[in-house]
Amino acid sequence: MQLTKYTHSCVRLDDGEQSLVIDPGVFSEVDTALDGAGAVLITHEHPDHIDTAKVTAALRGDPRLRLFAPAGVAAALAEFGEQVVAVAPGDSFEAAGFPVRTFGGQHAMIHPAIPVIANNGYLIADSIYHPGDSFSVPPVAVQTLLLPTNAPWSKASEVIDFAIAVRAPRVHQVHDSLVTDVYAGLVEGHLDRIAGPFGVAFTHLAPAETVSV
């Protein structure tokens, strides 16, 4: 299976003729990521995780494309009928041929004055975990963790502790479009030093870089 990281939180998985995209948001190369994809997973409603205009155009352009998302996101796309499916924590389903399990449920708190919204974490093929905007630890083994390394709702110690808690042997960063090279070096260096002894191997991926998983 091939994993391609795009800018911010968007990733694409390709396995033969099967293609699945997670969180094609406004900071990402959405048109490229969605090209030929069979399904889309949306973790939550924030625009850095779903570029609604481009996702809507993709759904209109390909009636075979399926989108899976929390109920609020699905309701906003109700015009597409069976192309859009609401999913919640505890659900298991198939998306473009990939088995998917859903965990979590809530977006991490940004500030007490900002309402908390729904957020799904997705485990694909019992291997690759995208938590969206949360540090929700799935109660199952994870082989590849997509780790949010910077956000208005987090700090470096929480990033590191989340990676240690998940204990995935392979980790790549997401949610990093606002990160400078200086900050990335600091956080990723701490991650290597502190989480590494727990079996966590971090590898930085550049936008559009593809790795085998």
**Strand order through the sheet with 201-202:** 92-95, 98-106, 118-124, 128-130, 144-148, 170-174, 201-202
Mean pLDDT of 118-142: 98
- Position 74 scores a pLDDT of 98
Share of the chain above pLDDT 70, in %: 100
- Position 19 scores a pLDDT of 98
- Position 64 scores a pLDDT of 96
- Position 91 scores a pLDDT of 98
Mean pLDDT of 72-99: 97
Separation between Cα atoms, residue 12 and residue 146, nearest integer Å: 12
The closest alpha carbon to 18, from 103, 92, 130, 124, belongs to 124
Residues 6+ apart with CB under 8 A from 69: 41, 42, 50, 77, 84, 85, 86, 87, 120
Tens digit of pLDDT for each residue in 143-160? 999 999 999 999 999 999
Domain count, the chain: 1
Mean pLDDT of 99-110: 97
CATH number of the domain within which 92 lies: 3.60.15.10
Tens digit of pLDDT for each residue in 38-58? 999 999 999 999 999 999 999
Separation between Cα atoms, residue 213 and residue 191, nearest integer Å: 20
- Whose structure tokens read 């779903």? 50
Helix 156-166 vs helix 181-195: crossing angle, to nearest 10:
40
- Position 104 scores a pLDDT of 96
Mean pLDDT of 7-16: 97
- Whose structure tokens read 């790795």? 211
Q: What is the mean pLDDT of the chain?
A: 97
Cα dihedral 28, 30, 36, 40 in deg (nearest 10): 80
The domain in which residue 56 lies consists of 2-212
